[in-house]
Structure 1
Amino acid sequence: MMIPQVLGIIQRTYTGSARTRALGAYTAVMAVGAAAGQIAGGGLVSAALFGTGRRPVFLVNVPIGALL
């Protein structure tokens, strides 16, 4: 839900080549995040920690929520 807002901020804040660099950095971060999420999820599912199958995928948010 935040993607349109972030892109709007980039469009309003930067101009010219700075905008191009900002959009390139944003695209790179989104691509790496999407790939890393798929790899981490697949790793958790295939690891089957403690014989729980796919359930550890849902526990990823617990430490993040506790930290926040």
Structure 2
Amino acid sequence: MSAEQQSGAPIRRWATTKQAAAHIRVNAEVLRRWNRDRDKYPWLPRPKRVGKDFRWDLNALDAALDAREDQ
């Protein structure tokens, strides 16, 4: 068992832009546009840059979408 699992902290799930877009059922270009237009989509969690690519925290993305649905 890893230290994260023992401490009870949720395990972060990271995905590429294409994988994250498929996870939330939108086209990858839509997710890229949302990320570029931050002032229009302030609820969107910021991805981490890995080299020239982005990695999205799927847990944060799910939480942000759930919060938007509750409004």
The structure, 1 or 2, with the larger RCO (C-alpha pairs under 8 Å, 6+ apart) is 2
Larger Rg: 1
TM-score (norm 1): 0.26
Choose between structure 1 and 2: higher strand proportion.
2
When the two structures are superposed, what TM-score results if normalisation uses the length of structure 2?
Answer: 0.25
Q: Quick check: which one's helix share is greater?
A: 1
